[in-house]
Amino acid sequence: MKRVVITGTGAICAIGADVSSFYQALLAARSGITMHAFDWGSTLVARVSADIDSPFPKMRRIAYDRVTQLALLATGQALAQSGLERLSTPLHASGIYWGTGMGGAQTLEQTYRDLYVEHAERVRPMTIVAAMNNAPAAHIAIELGIQGPSHTYSSACSSSAVAIGEAYRAIRFGLVPMAIVGGAEALLTEGVVKAWQSLHTLATPDPARPETSSRPFAADRSGFVLGEGAATLILEDHDAACARGATILAEIIGYANTTDARHIAQPDMTGQAAAMSQAIAAAGLEPAHIQHVNAHGTGTKVGDLVETRAIRAVFGPRAQALAISATKALHGHLMGATGALEMVALVETLRNRVVPPTAHLAHADIECDLDYVAEGSRAMPGLEVAMTNSFGFGGNNVSLIARRYPHR
Express each pLDDT in 32-52 by its tens digit: 999 999 988 999 999 997 667
- Domain's final residue, options 178, 210, 243: 243
Structure confidence at residue 86 (pLDDT)? 55
CA nearest 180: which of 236, 259, 226?
236
Q: Which helix (H) or strand (E) element contains residue 275?
A: helix 269-282
Question: Same domain for 31 and 139?
Answer: yes
Q: How many CB atoms lie within 10 A of CB 189?
A: 22
Statement to judge: residues 193 and 148 lie in one domain: yes
Calculate mean pLDDT across residues 216-234: 98
Average pLDDT value for residue range 356-361: 98
Percent of the chain with pLDDT over 90: 92
Q: Please tell me whether the overall predicted TM-score, pTM, comes out greater than 0.85 for this model.
A: yes
Structural domain that includes position 38: 4-243
Q: Say if residue 209 is in the same domain as residue 286.
A: no
How many domains in the chain? 2
261/192 same-domain check = no
Q: Would you state the pLDDT for residue 55?
A: 82
> In the 8-state DSSP scheme, what is residue 158?
G
Percentage, residues of the chain above pLDDT 70: 98
Residues 185 and 188: their CA atoms lie apart, in Å, by 9
- Average pLDDT of 293-312? 98
Give mean pLDDT, residues 61-72. Answer: 93
SS3 annotation, 56-76: CCHHHHHHCCHHHHHHHHHHH
Q: Is residue 178 pLDDT above 70, yes or no?
A: yes
- Which domain CATH number covers 343? 3.40.47.10
Instruction: List active site positions.
Output: 157, 296, 333
Query: Does residue 87 have a pLDDT over 50?
Result: no
What's the mean pLDDT when you consider all of the chain? 95
User: Is residue 75 situated within a structural domain?
Assistant: yes
pLDDT in tens, 375-401: 999 999 999 999 999 999 999 999 999
Residue where a domain terminates, one of 194, 217, 243 = 243
Tell me the average pLDDT across 180-209: 96
- Specify the pLDDT at position 165: 98
Tens digits of residue pLDDT in 127-137: 999 999 999 99
Q: Which of 199, 218, 243 is the last residue of a domain?
A: 243
